[in-house]
Each structure stands twice: as C-alpha cells, then as structure tokens.
Amino acid sequence: MKLLVLGGTLFLSRAVAAEAVARGHEVTCAARGRSGEVPEGASLVCLDRDRPDWAGLDDDWDAVVDVARSPRWVREALEQLAGRAPHWTFVSTISVYADTTTRHGTPDTLPLLEAAHDEAEQDTPEAYGAAKVACEELVRERAEEALVVRPGLIVGPGDPTGRFSYWPERLAEGGDVLAPDSPDRDTQLIDVRDLAAWLVGCAEQRRTGTYDATGYVTTLGELLEDVQRGVEDVGTRGPATLYWAAPAFLRRHHVEPWAGPRSLPLWLPEEAAGLVTHDVGAAHEAGLTTRPIAETAADTLRWLRSEQGRATVTGMTRAEEQDLLDDWHTITG
C-alpha cells in the first residue's frame, strides 16, 4: 500500500507512519519537519499547511491519513489530493459531541456540535470540536471512501499534552499521592500505538464509516493501580500511597480537572462523565485492540526519563500537592 500521512513527525501521525513502515508499506509524510523527524523508512515531503506548496506531492496513493484540526487545511488537501487517493482517513475527536453527560454514547446516538467552517478565533474545547465537525463533513463530501475516527484521550510515549504522563512520573516518585474524586470514577483512554495500528489496518481494508475509537471504560482506581504496577517494573523511589480527595475539597482548593496548571489530570466532573464512557464496541468489533495500561505506563515513564525533563507533563506542582495533602490529612484525621 502507498500511504500518505499528512503529518508524520509528531505523536499519532508519526505512530501511524511508523506502523505502516513496519508493515512494509511505502509511506510518504507531508509536514514542515519542524516537530521532529519522520520514522526511519518513511520519506518526507516538506509542506507547510498555512502556506502550502503542493508541487512536491505529485504522486498517487492508495490511502491518506489526516489529523488536522483546521477546516481550511482539510478543504485544501481534499481539493489537491482526493482524486489521487481513493481511501481517506480523518482522525477527529470525541469533542465533536454536543452531549457530554450521556454515558455509553455512540456516533449513532449522540448529537454533534454545529460545524464551524470558518477558522475559530478562540481556543476552547467547543471551538476545537466544532472545527472538527466541519472537517468531518468535508471529508465525507469529497473523499471517495471516507473513514472518520473519533478518539478519546490518546496516551503513551511521545505524548505532547502531558496529561497521562503526570501519573507515571508522580507514582514513580512514591510517597503520599493526592488522587482525584473517587477510585470508582470512570475513565477511558487508548495507547497511541494501538490506535495507530488500527488506523493502518483500516486503511489496508479500506474500511469506511464513523467510529469512536478508544479503550474500554475503566475506573480511576483501576487505572492508577495499573500505572503503579507498570512503573514498578521500570524503577521507583519508593511505594506510593493514594489519598482520594472529594470533589468538593478539590473545587474549594481550585484544583482544575483534566489538564493544565494546578490540575489533577484525567479527572472530570460528573457533568462531563459522558466524555470518558463511550461505547466503543463497534471499533473493537472492527479489529481495535488495546494493550494493558501497565505496559503503556512503563513505556511512558521510560520515554519521560529518556527525555530528561524536555517532555511536557501537565498537572499540579509537588508543592501545591503537598499543601493539599496537608489540608486533607487535617480534615480526615
């Protein structure tokens, strides 16, 4: 298969290119080349999608994989390339859904945000989701064979967001660890390598349709237990003890959910529980498989240590965490 990856130097798009090369496919990556190198065995065509010069992409391909968030980028790529590649995979997001409260939703049951075909000026989850809806519409309209994939939280080595990475790093340090909400709170994620393998397989099979693609629902307690097991295989400074702080306590201390400064990553309030409880049976029936979280945690920690502090890890500082632990221990006795 001749595969064109629009991207190929960063996280998911790079993992897709690497997986395709490993399977013996001929892979071209179209990217600026500033975020990193393409995988060994893939070729790079320099392309800046803000100011694209399409002259270097003068070939035909069996399939295209695009992860863009800009409707303009997607529209221009389709205009230039759709006639030269019969199968087009667009990687969207579960943020396209207008309903974030309903559990076990699917593409057939959840309403979408209104498509935003113009470039959004604000950088918010809603604007991001609405732009992705517009991208999806363009792909379905223009591609001969369209596959739209809506992942949830993508994690693993190379993650530029640092959300999941907080937990392998923190639990490897050991000691008292502040954990968010309840060990029974649901969550859901997928290793970037598992998603990439499925995307390449779908391109090989020329699969079409729309899928939510992430791992099965687990709980925060199960997830952090798995992370602990994984990091123990790599090496820790000592045992970690989790202290689960109630949502009211976290809100009172201005702890942010999900990601960012002063956050406990992966925690979401109850009103957003639908984002991490999708029914992904259709994707798994279509061949998606996921590795143990402990393996992802171990590999993520190895990657973080190899980066020697250069990788992004979001979340609260250790000083902020200790202040909250002191208060929590005072309250709970």
Full set of structural domains in the chain with CATH: 2-156+188-213 (3.40.50.720), 166-186+218-275+291-332 (no CATH)
Please check whether residue 61 is in contact with residue 2, taking contact to mean a CB–CB distance below 8 angstroms. Answer: yes
**Token pair belonging to 156:** 């693993």
Q: What is the pLDDT of residue 121?
A: 59
Q: What is the pLDDT of residue 122?
A: 59
β-strand partners of 258: 265
Q: What is the pLDDT of residue 2?
A: 98
Q: What is the pLDDT of residue 120?
A: 62
Please check whether residue 177 is in contact with residue 243, taking contact to mean a CB–CB distance below 8 angstroms. Answer: yes
DSSP assignment letter at 186 = E
Nearest-CA neighbor of 242 among 163, 153, 302, 182? 182
DSSP assignment letter at 96 = G
Please check whether residue 288 is in contact with residue 154, taking contact to mean a CB–CB distance below 8 angstroms. Answer: no
pLDDT in single tens digits along all 333 residues of the chain: 999 999 999 999 999 999 999 999 999 999 998 888 999 999 999 999 999 999 999 999 999 999 999 999 999 999 999 999 999 999 999 999 999 999 999 999 999 999 998 876 557 888 999 999 999 999 999 999 999 999 999 999 999 999 999 999 999 999 999 999 999 999 999 999 999 999 999 999 999 999 999 999 999 999 999 999 999 999 999 999 999 999 999 999 999 999 999 999 999 998 899 999 999 999 999 999 999 999 999 999 999 999 998 999 999 999 999 999 999 999 987
Nearest-CA neighbor of 193 among 168, 224, 156? 156
**Token pair belonging to 12:** 């998911």
Q: What is the pLDDT of residue 95?
A: 96
Q: How far is it, in rounded angstroms, from Cα 10 to Cα 14?
A: 5
Alpha helices (H) in the chain, listed in sequence order: 11-22, 71-81, 125-142, 166-173, 192-205, 220-234, 247-252, 281-285, 293-307, 318-332
Overall pTM surpassing 0.95 (yes/no): yes
Residue 127: HSE in the Cβ half-sphere, 13 Å Cα cutoff: 8
Q: What is the pLDDT of residue 333?
A: 72
